[in-house]
Structure 1
Amino acid sequence: MLLNLDGRKIYFDLAGPQNAPAVCFTHSLAADGGMWTEQLVPLLAAGYRVLRLDMRGHGGSQPVEGDYTMDELAADVKGALDVLGIWKVHYIGLSIGGMIGQGFALAYPERLHSLTLCDTHPSSPDDSAGQWDQRKAAVRANGVKALADGNMERWFTTEFKDANPTRWKEIHSTICGTSDAGFLGCAAAIQNFDYLDRLPTIKIPTLVICGDDDPATPPDRNRLIASKIPGARYEDIAKARHLPNVERPEPFNRLMMSFLGLNR
């Protein structure tokens, strides 16, 4: 479904009873709300309302030309919730979705029941600027599809690809379908944000989850986030890379459902 946000189209998927507690998902760069498919069944079975949002230029959402900021992307989430009439949510974000979640918690704490941050960073990594410049150059030259194979190697173990070829192909296709403008705008946001020193001001119940073999947003960076947010808890997922919710849904879902239940 589509909603109109400041004159542009944002794609969303909303399922579950209207008056149920809402869980809002945001996805990783070059993905879309479909990366949370493995979480839908347990959430709906437990009586939650589930909202999956596509970032600008991703999935079914309209791109915006130029560089984005993390605060602008957090404001997109707030704007979507306003249009949909959802006042308060349990927020779950992975990778850039987790970066957006930190910005959302800092700017709009009154809109949150809880915060789950997965495989993410608290600030732009000091040594990553050149790497991101190379990726952006590749996209400008050949489109996002040029990064698809490399992304999949960082996102999943070889064992996952061999055991789940259909799901692997679905996610690979989603990367290839991401708009160049959406990728470039979000990549610029990743290159230029820093929430680290402000994390201690977050008072929302927070869970931080990371795949123990994640090369993109490694466990030490996620542990750092958990150490900065008062009362936050860190958990890792064994034998998983950047998308543990897809690669290892059973342990991920156990952690997610337990944490949501504690804060329902």
Structure 2
Amino acid sequence: MILQNPDGSETYYLELGDRSAETLVLLHGIGADHEMWQAQRQPYVDAGFHLLILDLFGHGQSSPLPSGQLFHWHNQISWLLAHRAVKTCTLIGVSMGGVIAQSFVVAYPQMVNNLVLADTFGELRTLREKLLGSAQLIGFHLFKRLGQQRLANSISQTYRADYAHLAQAYFSQVCLTANMDQLILARQAINQIDVLECLSEVTIPTLVMVGADLGQFFIEINQKIAQALPNAEFVVLQQSMDPSNLVNPDRFNHQVLTFLGFSAK
């Protein structure tokens, strides 16, 4: 479905499940789209949830991201919730989606009941953290010159582990149609995130997960988020990496549904 936003932009989204149930808003990672959540749709609907799965600005079938600022995504999410008459929701964000989810809950705490974050970051303050953000941005500039096929080939190697075949197949295809200028803008936007101090005021139940195969440094970045939140649970997912919902969907779904009070079927 396409939502015409107040500023003239468009949001593509899927709506699944019982509208009277708790709404889960699923926020994908950079370079992805709503299809990144293919392994979550049926299990979450079967568990009785109402799902809103959108293409974030700059991705998929939604409008371009106007500038490298996080507030554009805040507006996009709040407009979608208002359009579907959803007053409060559970936000689930992975990677870039996790950055946006943190930024949104700080800006609109009254609209979020529960928060699920995975494979993400809440600030880039140390030299090593800043280098991580800069390296990703440089990489997108490089692949803008090299072409989308080279990007797809590189991503395919990232997910060459046997257990990551679903992510490998997905990203090998979605990268072929990636708009590199939009990915650069998106990366510039998420590199601005700096909310860890603000998260101390976010008291809603939160689950923070990270894939073990991302390495100790990235595990610690996600652990910092959990430590900043007063009511957070922290889980390291074995045989997983960014995005964990696609690399190890069974374990990801089990953790999410258990956290939300349901058992995976």
TM-score higher than 0.5:
yes
Q: Which residue of 1 aligns with 2:145?
A: 141
Q: Which residue of 1 aligns with 2:20?
A: 19
C-alpha displacement of 1:141? 2.4
Q: Which residue of 2 aligns with 1:115?
A: 115
**Relative to 1, partners in 2 of residues 1:119 and 1:129: Cα closer, same or farther, differing over 3 Å?**
closer
Q: CA deviation digits over 1:100-142, x for unaligned, max 9?
A: 0001110111111100011000113222354134223224424
**Relative to 1, partners in 2 of residues 1:215 and 1:147: Cα closer, same or farther, differing over 3 Å?**
farther
Mapped pair 1:159 → 2:162: yes
**Relative to 1, partners in 2 of residues 1:86 and 1:178: Cα closer, same or farther, differing over 3 Å?**
farther
Q: Which residue of 2 aligns with 1:253?
A: 253
Task: Return the alpha-carbon distance in structure 1 between the equivalents of residues 132 and 102 of structure 2.
Answer: 20
- Check whether the contact 2:65–2:186 (CA below 8 A) recurs between aligned residues: no
- Check whether the contact 1:226–1:234 (CA below 8 A) recurs between aligned residues: yes
**Relative to 1, partners in 2 of residues 1:196 and 1:238: Cα closer, same or farther, differing over 3 Å?**
same
Q: Which residue of 2 aligns with 1:200?
A: 200
Question: How many residues of Structure 1 are paired with residues of Structure 2 in the alignment?
Answer: 257
Q: Which residue of 2 aligns with 1:31?
A: 32
C-alpha displacement of 1:84? 2.3
Gaps of 5+ in 1: none
Task: Return the alpha-carbon distance in structure 2 between the equivalents of residues 144 and 85 of structure 1.
Answer: 39
**Relative to 1, partners in 2 of residues 1:141 and 1:93: Cα closer, same or farther, differing over 3 Å?**
same
Q: Which residue of 2 aligns with 1:210?
A: 210
**Relative to 1, partners in 2 of residues 1:216 and 1:8: Cα closer, same or farther, differing over 3 Å?**
farther
- Check whether the contact 2:25–2:90 (CA below 8 A) recurs between aligned residues: yes
Q: TM-score, normalised by structure 2?
A: 0.89
SS at match of 1:239: coil
C-alpha displacement of 1:10? 1.0
C-alpha displacement of 1:151? 3.4
Q: Which residue of 1 aligns with 2:91?
A: 91
SS at match of 1:261: coil
* Cα RMSD for the two superposed structures: 2.1
- Check whether the contact 2:95–2:118 (CA below 8 A) recurs between aligned residues: yes
Task: Return the alpha-carbon distance in structure 2 between the equivalents of residues 94 and 80 of structure 1.
Answer: 19
Which residue identity is paired with 1:58?
Answer: H
Q: Out of 102-111 and 128-137, give the one that drifted further.
A: 128-137
Which residue identity is paired with 1:78?
Answer: S
Task: Return the alpha-carbon distance in structure 1 between the equivalents of residues 74 and 63 of structure 2.
Answer: 16
SS at match of 2:130: coil
- Check whether the contact 1:75–1:104 (CA below 8 A) recurs between aligned residues: no
C-alpha displacement of 1:217? 7.8
Task: Return the alpha-carbon distance in structure 1 between the equivalents of residues 179 and 80 of structure 2.
Answer: 20
**Relative to 1, partners in 2 of residues 1:159 and 1:28: Cα closer, same or farther, differing over 3 Å?**
same
SS at match of 1:28: coil
Gaps of 5+ in 2: none
Residue identity over aligned pairs, in percent, reads: 26
Mapped pair 1:128 → 2:129: no
Task: Return the alpha-carbon distance in structure 1 between the equivalents of residues 147 and 83 of structure 2.
Answer: 32
Task: Return the alpha-carbon distance in structure 2 between the equivalents of residues 176 and 36 of structure 1.
Answer: 19
- Check whether the contact 1:132–1:191 (CA below 8 A) recurs between aligned residues: no
C-alpha displacement of 1:37? 1.0
Task: Return the alpha-carbon distance in structure 2 between the equivalents of residues 103 and 92 of structure 1.
Answer: 13
- Check whether the contact 2:22–2:89 (CA below 8 A) recurs between aligned residues: yes
Q: TM-score, normalised by structure 1?
A: 0.89
- Check whether the contact 1:64–1:181 (CA below 8 A) recurs between aligned residues: no
Q: Which residue of 1 aligns with 2:53?
A: 52
Task: Return the alpha-carbon distance in structure 1 between the equivalents of residues 157 and 107 of structure 2.
Answer: 34
